Structure 1
């Protein structure tokens, strides 16, 4: 992930409704939720939710698909994984108690 993409993703999460939306979709899992249900569960105006969903999708954190007239949204796990990998790329290399060397599979729990 490039720095600009990480900034876009973090900016998308740096707002209360969008962060709540993201957490709701994490709990929901791969089946996702229709936009109207997201608005109901978050108690937010549907047009406001629509704007937030669009920003999060542009940031690569969620994905959408259409089933007849409804648009469903779910977490984009590849985008989330890319953001987490970017944020933790150099994590704890100086501390062997928490660092896991992926090449040698030498991990401490």
Structure 2
């Protein structure tokens, strides 16, 4: 990941509601959640949630897909992992540090 996409992703996550939505989608795994369930779980009005999900989508952190009348959002684990790799690229002076572990949903996350 280059610097500009990393800044975009970090900026999108630097807001309480967007961070909560992203974390909820990471917990939901690749299946994702409908927007209505995200709004309900986070007690965010649908109009506000729509704005926050759009920001996360523009940063490449979430992916929307149409499922009938519903829009299902899921975390983009490739972007999440690229951001983690970017942030830890020079960790520990280039020496091996905390290993990356596999989560139950198949996304690698740092063990920090």
| TM-score for the superposition, normalised by structure 1 | 0.85
CA deviations 1:20-61 (Å, max 9, x no partner) are 101111111111000111001100000100010010011011
Once residues 79 and 94 of structure 1 are traced to their aligned partners in structure 2, the CA distance between those partners, rounded to angstroms, is: 22
CA RMSD of aligned residues (A): 1.5
Output one character per residue of 1:56-94: Cα deviation in whole Å (capped at 9) or x when no partner: 011011111000110000110111011111111111136
Runs of at least 5 residues in structure 2 that lack an aligned partner in the other structure:
100-112
Structure with the bigger percentage of strand: 2
Deviation, structure 1 residue 19: 0.6
- The correspondence of residues 17-28 of structure 1 with structure 2, limited to 5 A, is 17-28=17-28
Q: Who wins on radius of gyration, i.e. which is larger?
A: 1
Structure 1: which 5+ residue stretches go unaligned?
A: 101-109
* Correspondence for 1:35: 35
TM-score (norm 2): 0.83
What SS does structure 1 have at the residue aligned with 2:63? Answer: strand
Q: Against the structure 1 CA distance between its residues 95 and 78, is the aligned structure 2 distance closer, same or farther, given a 3 Å change threshold?
A: closer
Aligned length: 99
